[in-house]
Structure 1
Amino acid sequence: MSGFRSSGSRADKADIERRLATATRGAELLDRKQRILQRAIDGLQGEADAARLAWEEQAALAAVWLQRAAGLDGSDRISEAAPDVPATVQVRWGGAMGISYPRGADCVLPVPEPTGGSSALAYAASAHRDALQAAVAAASAERALLLVSRELVATRTRQRAVENRWIPLLHEQLAEIGRKIAEQELEESLRLRWSAGLI
């Protein structure tokens, strides 16, 4: 855009006016996108806060039961109670305004097997399963919030560039072309008057 050189023609003026209309419409769309993203972030922030709180509560409960199980059953029995198959996570993706982000995640846990230890060990295993599921939900919510927040920052940056650089530059170019057209019209008028012998 900065390399634009105008000959001062009406075609140049029409071209700049089209570009200016496009830039103005682009700024309006970016502003609208910002408002939509901000509303999405407000909702996602609430979800992330609730998910983090749930995870912290579940993790604290799991830690209590693990301590009890360690006192009653010992670390060897706890290790034996750990499943051989790892848990897996399935992320559900969604999106808004052209960006994709997690809309939830499911933690698929291995089928629990009888531990043979104390009831504290069984409660510890159950509490850790719940804590893991809560951690996955919290991670999904945090990731969604991060991705949408990044898009909001990028959108604000683009809007500032359009409003503070592109649109003013186009206005300057339009004014310059207007001056050149006015000069050309004055010169043409003087030529016509001179050729008609009026000057």
Structure 2
Amino acid sequence: MSTHGRRVPVGRAGRLRLRRNLATAQRGADLLERKLRLLLDRERVQRRAAEDAGSVWREELAAADTWLLRGVLLGGERALAQAVPVDRACIDVEWAALMGVRHPAAVAWTAPVRSPAEQMPPNTALAHAETAYRSAVRAAAEHAAHRTAAELLAAEAKRTRQRARALHRHWIPRLQRELSAVELALEEAEHEEAVRRRWAASQGVR
């Protein structure tokens, strides 16, 4: 007995093997569907967080640019040079894993610190610009982290969906067909055996 050129196991042992394979495939499909739901839920959370951080980033950047222009108009480019601290911001990305997918989970932000010898911004506009730029940088980092997480989760969700679809559309139906064929063959064999026994009994053959 064969299906699409593939030999199908026969007999009761073959039926038991197919039943086990079918149960394994169905459990695998259920696990993949569960994994897919979790990945899609987390992806949606990350995309919403990325949108929120992106909005903050754009708003703070626009505000910073406006304050910067005012500050330069008030104090000139020399005032701008005095307003920038030597220290730099530090951003660390914390990673997490969901269903085997490693992705950015949070951003740790450390703002630049002025030394006692450094001057403060020479006018209020540049002070506001500094605050807004710091918020913009932090929001940009959060936006990038959430967006990257969403893309990584989406890629794994796509692969998971393909594997689940292959089980549902190909493997499980094929195993079901093979199992039905084996059960039909066993049923026919048992029927033929019953007929033979009845005939033998009617002939007095033992």
The TM-score bracket by the shorter chain reads 0.7 to 0.9
Scaled by the length of structure 1, the TM-score of the pair is 0.80
In the TM superposition, 1:108-127 aligns within 5 A as 108-112=110-114, 113-115=118-120, 117-127=122-132
How far apart are residue 4 of structure 1 and its match? 4.8
Q: Which runs of no fewer than 5 residues in structure 1 stay unpaired? A: none
In the TM superposition, 1:19-168 aligns within 5 A as 19-75=21-77, 77-79=79-81, 81-112=83-114, 113-115=118-120, 117-168=122-173
CA distance in 2: counterparts of 1:77 and 1:11, whole angstroms: 87
Q: Identity over the aligned pairs, expressed in percent?
A: 36
Scaled by the length of structure 2, the TM-score of the pair is 0.78
CA distance in 1: counterparts of 2:169 and 2:142, whole angstroms: 40
> RMSD of the alignment, in Å?
3.0
Q: Corresponding residue for 2:10?
A: 8
Alignment size in residue pairs:
198
C-alpha distance 179-79 of structure 1, shift in aligned 2 (>3 A):
farther
- The one-letter amino acid paired with 2:165 is R
Moved more, 175-184 or 126-135: 175-184
Instruction: Encode CA deviations 1:121-141: one digit per residue, 9 max, x unaligned.
Output: 333223212211111112122
- The one-letter amino acid paired with 1:98 is G
How far apart are residue 151 of structure 1 and its match? 2.5
Preserved CA contact (<8 Å) 2:44 2:150: no
- The one-letter amino acid paired with 1:63 is D
Instruction: Encode CA deviations 1:11-64: one digit per residue, 9 max, x unaligned.
Output: 111111111111111222222223333332333333222211111111111111
Q: Which runs of no fewer than 5 residues in structure 2 stay unpaired? A: none
CA distance in 1: counterparts of 2:107 and 2:134, whole angstroms: 15
CA distance in 1: counterparts of 2:87 and 2:25, whole angstroms: 56
C-alpha distance 3-95 of structure 1, shift in aligned 2 (>3 A):
farther
